[in-house]
């Protein structure tokens, strides 16, 4: 395992919802580690918010209360591209080098679904379980706008740039979206929880989460889904995050400490 990190950990300490938050850089990339106030849960589990740290943090706070650490590394504007995967993997190695649990629990909200699934497909042996929330599972749906919703022009340009696509045809032919490698997730028996807003007008359920759930079931994967029948893209998560906490705590240690 590479441990030649260039890091200023623990960086700057501040308060986050009553917990100690450390902002630091790892090879120049912004990272966050929030520590629990209570004793760390045995095995030192951690819950990684792939994108939008701090937004709808119901599950994050519930897990902190139970002795988990909550983390984040910046993958802004990378849309799950290989560079995003590299950054998250670097962060994983860092966490392991600090003695945290080997099974990563990754939460992907919205476009965070891209990096969550893509990293898990690249490194399935490092994953404990995944929680996806109104998650983008195919950039052709969002921001590409190839389905029911409009194209998000600026985001689509940034997405194409992040992947280094020369033109749109190359983007459309790309076979590395989350929906393209669900077989890896299913084969590795990675438990997946989708929380899906069924009236999502941005990241539509039928082009993203619902396809993922259906395919994972067909492939024999471990998948659960909580459908919010009348909900739009926001709010994410569940106000009472107990079902999410139950799912995560059920599976986080499936590979042992």
224: contact with other proteins by CB under 8 A: yes
37: contact with other proteins by CB under 8 A: no
Using CB under 8 A, which of the segments 14-22, 77-85, 151-159, 225-233 binds other proteins? 225-233
Distance CA 188, CA 113 (A): 18
Q: Are 137 and 209 in contact (CB under 8 A)?
A: yes
215: contact with other proteins by CB under 8 A: no
Q: Which residue from 42, 147, 164, 220 is in contact with other proteins, where contact means CB under 8 A?
A: 42
CA distances (Å), 179 to each of 13, 118, 193, 208, 212, in order? 38, 10, 15, 8, 6
Q: Are 190 and 120 in contact (CB under 8 A)?
A: yes
- Sequence-distant (6+) residues with CB within 8 A of 49 are 57, 60, 70, 71, 72, 107, 109, 112
173: contact with other proteins by CB under 8 A: no
Q: Which residue from 32, 106, 223, 248 is in contact with other proteins, where contact means CB under 8 A?
A: 223
231: contact with other proteins by CB under 8 A: yes
59: contact with other proteins by CB under 8 A: no
Distance CA 148, CA 142 (A): 10
Q: Give SS3 for 243.
A: helix
Residues recorded for the chain: 257
- Sequence-distant (6+) residues with CB within 8 A of 67 are 36, 38, 39, 40, 41, 45
Using CB under 8 A, which of the segments 98-106, 152-160, 165-173, 230-238 binds other proteins? 230-238
Looking at the Cβ atoms of 45 and 80, the one nearer to other proteins is 45
Looking at the Cβ atoms of 4 and 239, the one nearer to other proteins is 239
229: contact with other proteins by CB under 8 A: yes
70: contact with other proteins by CB under 8 A: no
Enumerate binding residues for other proteins (CB under 8 A): 41-42, 66-67, 222-231, 238-240, 243, 246, 249-250, 253, 256-257
């Amino acid at each position: 395992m590479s441990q030649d990190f260039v890091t200023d950990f623990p960086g700057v300490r501040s308060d986050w919802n009553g917990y100690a938050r450390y902002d630091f850089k790892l090879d120049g990339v912004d990272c966050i580690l929030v520590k629990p106030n209570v004793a760390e849960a045995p095995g030192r589990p951690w819950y990684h918010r792939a994108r939008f740290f701090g937004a709808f943090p119901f599950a994050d706070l519930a897990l902190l209360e139970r002795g988990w650490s909550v983390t984040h590394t910046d993958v802004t504007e990378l849309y799950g591209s290989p560079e995003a995967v590299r950054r998250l993997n670097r962060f994983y190695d860092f966490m392991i080098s600090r003695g945290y649990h080997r099974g990563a629990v990754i939460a992907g909200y919205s476009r965070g679904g891209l990096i969550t699934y893509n990293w898990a497909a690249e490194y399935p042996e490092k994953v404990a379980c995944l929680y996806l929330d109104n998650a983008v599972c195919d950039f052709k749906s969002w921001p590409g706008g190839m389905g029911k919703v409009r194209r998000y022009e600026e985001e689509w340009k940034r997405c194409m740039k992040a992947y280094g696509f020369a033109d749109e045809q190359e983007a459309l032919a790309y076979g590395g979206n989350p929906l393209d490698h669900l077989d890896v997730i299913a084969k590795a028996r990675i438990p997946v929880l989708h929380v899906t807003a069924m009236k999502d007008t941005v990241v539509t359920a039928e082009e993203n989460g619902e396809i993922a759930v259906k395919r994972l079931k067909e492939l024999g994967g471990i998948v659960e889904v909580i459908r919010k029948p009348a909900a739009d893209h926001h709010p994410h998560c569940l106000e009472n995050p107990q079902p999410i906490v139950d799912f995560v705590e059920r599976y986080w240690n499936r590979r042992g400490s």
